[in-house]
Each structure stands twice: as structure tokens, then as C-alpha cells.
């Protein structure tokens, strides 16, 4: 019987789930700890906290290419997505609004659209091809069917499970041609692809700090001027008297610092990550029989994410074995980590069936090295061979 030695040196390759807090973020937040008062208060400590909150808002606006008045802090990405979709539905509730979400959206958007449908909206799912790219001709036909209806298109800028990056310029142009608003969940895109709200004029954008090396529990929603959303809560001193969210100056400082670090020197980081991604994919294909890289045919993909499918394996067994070897990876979305449920994203791109099929996502960050990638490739090749043998 083979004896497996547990590796005590952990290798973290799950940055797409959450990005460990950057030391610079800790330092920036620590400098504000003694000023952590209520920014809505009129006294001097409250005014100091309010100034801190607005400085962070202004810094984020500069980084995204928008006015700070368009940014609203929330409790995270899910709350921001919910606010964009349900806020739109409820502000047009008497007009039978339409909501289009792609088949590979995050659950925060898919389930918000379902909730909107229960409240009188018409919800549609935009099909994707085998790489995860949207079928824009299908979307055009549906938009043409009822051009007078209030319409929201909600599409992830970059997919969190397989890394497909959508052509947001084309999606925005198409939506605006038919008078639709466009919302994007940019949680995974920020820091990896160019997100400039002047160049790509989406109407609503969601983000969260912990995917950038910032704190958990603070996100934001960008709302273009003129866009009307119904609040989701009332009477609780919500963000700028309009939104369910947070008025946390310390968290906002952490968000702004993390975003600046993520966007700074992006091109050189993307080049390094792309080389690491391509190296890992080449090794996986060479060393694991019938391995499949999900989304590899997409015109544009995230540079720091690899999703590999391994026939004949159970996802849970592979992930547990990798963890036993000291490697933190995931099966896809961190919000759907129960491997018994399966992945709606893989179903949408045509990977389905009753046979065992493991999906493993590796995602890396600023500290990931080539040696780390080789260690991960060695480990998953061993693990796959072992799990296939046990499953057979």
C-alpha cells in the first residue's frame, strides 16, 4: 500500500476565491483604525471619518474612470449584484421589465434574476458557446422582439470558473443600440483586464475588495448618472441615504488601496501570469490523459486562471487529495463548493453527463512563481492517476 506524506508547506492557488490581504492594505487600514467613527455624525470624529470615506471613493473613481458621485459602497459583490438587478426590476415593476443574464453568471445574478421574475419581470438566459462566449446574435434577436420594454443586460466581464472574458465593448454597444441598460459583474476582471468606464460605458458595475487583496465585507456598485434603481432597504442609514450598504471608512480605505495595487503595473503582471497559465496548461495536457482545459478556445481569457477537466475522476476526491498534499485549489466558484451539485457553467458550455468528471480550478496571484506552478502540475498529475485507479 502506498503511503502518502502530508506536505506541511501550503501552496495557495485559489486567488479567484479570495485574494489574501496585501500588507500594504493592512498598513493603510491600520492608519485609519483610530478614526473608525460613524461618518454620518456631525462631530469632529464623524467628519474625519466622512473625509476618509470620501477620499477612498474619489481614489476609486480616478482608478475606474468615473466621478466619485457614481460610486456606492456595499457589503460585497453579492449585495452589489442584487442591488443592480432587483433595484432595476423594482424601479420598473409596473412596466413588465426584461432582465437578460448569461447562462454562466454568478449565482448572485442568476438568483436575483429569478427573484425579479417572481416579482413580475421577464427573465432570460443568454446562451454561450463551448468557450463561454455570449451568443450576441441570439441576444440581438431577443432585444428586437420588444424594444420598448425596460431592459437590463447583466453579464460577467470575466467568468469566475473558466476565465472567459466577454467582449464588453460589443455587449454595451448592442445593448445601448436597443435602449437597454448594461450591468457587469467585474469582480474577477479588475486588475487582470482593462476596466475603464469612459472607454466601456456600462451603466452599472459591481466589484468587491476581497478579490483584489482587500478586506472582506466591502464592495461597490457603480451607477451611471440617470440610471434609476429602487433601494432594497429603508430607514437604516444606508449608503448616502439611497442604498443598502456600508459606510465603513476603514474598509473603503482598504478597497481603494487594494484596487490601486491591482491596477498598478497591470500589463507586466498580466504578461507574467499568462506565461504561468500557458506553462501549467501545457503540462496538464501532456501529463494527464484526456485532460481538457475549459474555455481555452475563447478569444480572451483571464491570465491567472486555469480550469482543467479530468475524465474518470471525482472532483471532491481530487480536491481533498490536493489539499492533503498542501495545495489549495477549488472546483470552480467558491460560492458553489459542494462538488456533488455540479457546475452550471460546465453544463452551459456543453460538458455534462453521468460519468465521473473532475473540474479543478487553479488561480494565482502576485506571489505565485514558476516553481509553484510546477509543484501544482506534479501534484495533480499524481492525484489524477491515483483517483482514476481507485475509481476504475
Query: In tens digits, what is the pLDDT along the chain, a chain of 392 residues?
Result: 334 444 448 999 999 999 999 999 999 999 988 777 888 788 988 889 889 999 999 999 999 999 999 999 999 999 999 999 999 999 999 999 999 999 999 999 999 999 999 999 999 999 999 999 999 999 999 999 999 999 999 999 999 999 999 999 999 999 999 999 999 999 999 999 999 999 999 999 999 999 999 999 999 999 999 999 998 877 655 565 455 456 789 999 999 999 999 999 899 999 999 999 999 999 999 999 999 999 999 999 999 999 999 999 988 999 999 999 999 999 865 544 444 445 789 999 998 766 789 999 999 999 999 999 999 999 999 999 998 887 76
Strands (DSSP E) contained in 291-331 are 292-293, 305-311, 327-328
CA dihedral 225, 77, 281, 194 (to 10 degrees): 20
Nine-digit cell string for 243: 442604498
Rounded to whole angstroms, the Cα distance separating 58 from 55 reads 5
Distances (CA, A) of 388 to 193, 313, 377: 36, 5, 16
Collapsing DSSP states into helix, strand and coil, what is residue 221? Answer: strand
Phi, psi of 72 (to 5 degrees): -130, 125
Provide the pairing of β-strand 11-12 with 327-328.
parallel
Exposure b/e, 238-256, CB count within 10 A at least 16 = b: bbeeebbbbbbbbbbbbbb
Q: Please report the pLDDT score of residue 356 as a whole number.
A: 87
Q: Please report the pLDDT score of residue 340 as a whole number.
A: 45
Nine-digit cell string for 3: 503511503
What is the DSSP-derived secondary structure letter of residue 158?
Answer: B
Q: Please report the pLDDT score of residue 392 as a whole number.
A: 64
Q: Please report the pLDDT score of residue 353 as a whole number.
A: 64
Distances (CA, A) of 85 to 91, 115, 183, 298: 10, 9, 8, 27
Nine-digit cell string for 192: 487582470
335 is catalytic: yes
**Closest Cα to residue 83, out of 240, 210, 196, 213?**
240
Rounded to whole angstroms, the Cα distance separating 15 from 367 reads 11
Provide the pairing of β-strand 98-102 with 305-311.
unpaired
Q: Which residues contact 334 (CB under 8 A, 6 or more apart)?
A: 14, 16, 17, 18
Q: Where are the alpha helices (DSSP H) in 264-369?
A: 266-287, 315-324, 344-348
Rounded to whole angstroms, the Cα distance separating 80 from 204 reads 10
Are the beta carbons of 111 and 78 closer than 8 angstroms? no
Are the beta carbons of 161 and 188 closer than 8 angstroms? no
Q: Please report the pLDDT score of residue 355 as a whole number.
A: 79
**Closest Cα to residue 292, out of 134, 97, 162, 115?**
162
Rounded to whole angstroms, the Cα distance separating 342 from 164 reads 19
Are the beta carbons of 345 and 164 closer than 8 angstroms? no
Distances (CA, A) of 114 to 204, 209, 337: 19, 26, 21
Rounded to whole angstroms, the Cα distance separating 120 from 371 reads 53
Q: Which residues pair with 126 in a beta bridge?
A: 102
pTM score, whole prediction: 0.93
Collapsing DSSP states into helix, strand and coil, what is residue 91? Answer: helix
Q: Please report the pLDDT score of residue 320 as a whole number.
A: 95
Catalytic position from the list 52, 70, 313, 335: 335
Amino acid at each position: 500500500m502506498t503511503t502518502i506524506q502530508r506536505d506541511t508547506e501550503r501552496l495557495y492557488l485559489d486567488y479567484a476565491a479570495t485574494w489574501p490581504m496585501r500588507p500594504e492594505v493592512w498598513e493603510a487600514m491600520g492608519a485609519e483604525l483610530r478614526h473608525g467613527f460613524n461618518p454620518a455624525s456631525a462631530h469632529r470624529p464623524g467628519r474625519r471619518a466622512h473625509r476618509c470615506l470620501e477620499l477612498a471613493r474619489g481614489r476609486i473613481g480616478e482608478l475606474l474612470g468615473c466621478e466619485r458621485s457614481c460610486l456606492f459602497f456595499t457589503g460585497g459583490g453579492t449585495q452589489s449584484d442584487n442591488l443592480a438587478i432587483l433595484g432595476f426590476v423594482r424601479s420598473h415593476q409596473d412596466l413588465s421589465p426584461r432582465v437578460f443574464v448569461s447562462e454562466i453568471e454568478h449565482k448572485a445574478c442568476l438568483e436575483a434574476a429569478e427573484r425579479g421574475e417572481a416579482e413580475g419581470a421577464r427573465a432570460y438566459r443568454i446562451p454561450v458557446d463551448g468557450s463561454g462566449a455570449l451568443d450576441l446574435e441570439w441576444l440581438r434577436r431577443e432585444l428586437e422582439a420588444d424594444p420598448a420594454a425596460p431592459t437590463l443586460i447583466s453579464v460577467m466581464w470575466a467568468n469566475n470558473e473558466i476565465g472567459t472574458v466577454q467582449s464588453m465593448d460589443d455587449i454595451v454597444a448592442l445593448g445601448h443600440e436597443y435602449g437597454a441598460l448594461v450591468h457587469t459583474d467585474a469582480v474577477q476582471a479588475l486588475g487582470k483586464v482593462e476596466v475603464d468606464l469612459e472607454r466601456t460605458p456600462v451603466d452599472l458595475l459591481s466589484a468587491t475588495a476581497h478579490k483584489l487583496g482587500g478586506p472582506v465585507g466591502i464592495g461597490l456598485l457603480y451607477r451611471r448618472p440617470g440610471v434609476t434603481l429602487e433601494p432594497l432597504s429603508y430607514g437604516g442609514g444606508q449608503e448616502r441615504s439611497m442604498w443598502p450598504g456600508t459606510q465603513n471608512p476603514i474598509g473603503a480605505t482598504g478597497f481603494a488601496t487594494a484596487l490601486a495595487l491591482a491596477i498598478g503595473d497591470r500589463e507586466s503582471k498580466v504578461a507574467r501570469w499568462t506565461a504561468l497559465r500557458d506553462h501549467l496548461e501545457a503540462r496538464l495536457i501532456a501529463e494527464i490523459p484526456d485532460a481538457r482545459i475549459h474555455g481555452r478556445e475563447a478569444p480572451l481569457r483571464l491570465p491567472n486562471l486555469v480550469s482543467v477537466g479530468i475524465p474518470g475522476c471525482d472532483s471532491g476526491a481530487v480536491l481533498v487529495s490536493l489539499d492533503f498534499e498542501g495545495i489549495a485549489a477549488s472546483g470552480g466558484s467558491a460560492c458553489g463548493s459542494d462538488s456533488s451539485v455540479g457546475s452550471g457553467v460546465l453544463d452551459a458550455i456543453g460538458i455534462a453527463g453521468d460519468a465521473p468528471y473532475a473540474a479543478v480550478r487553479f488561480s494565482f496571484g502576485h506571489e505565485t512563481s514558476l516553481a509553484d506552478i510546477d509543484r501544482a502540475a506534479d501534484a495533480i498529475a499524481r492525484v489524477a492517476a491515483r483517483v482514476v485507479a481507485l475509481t476504475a
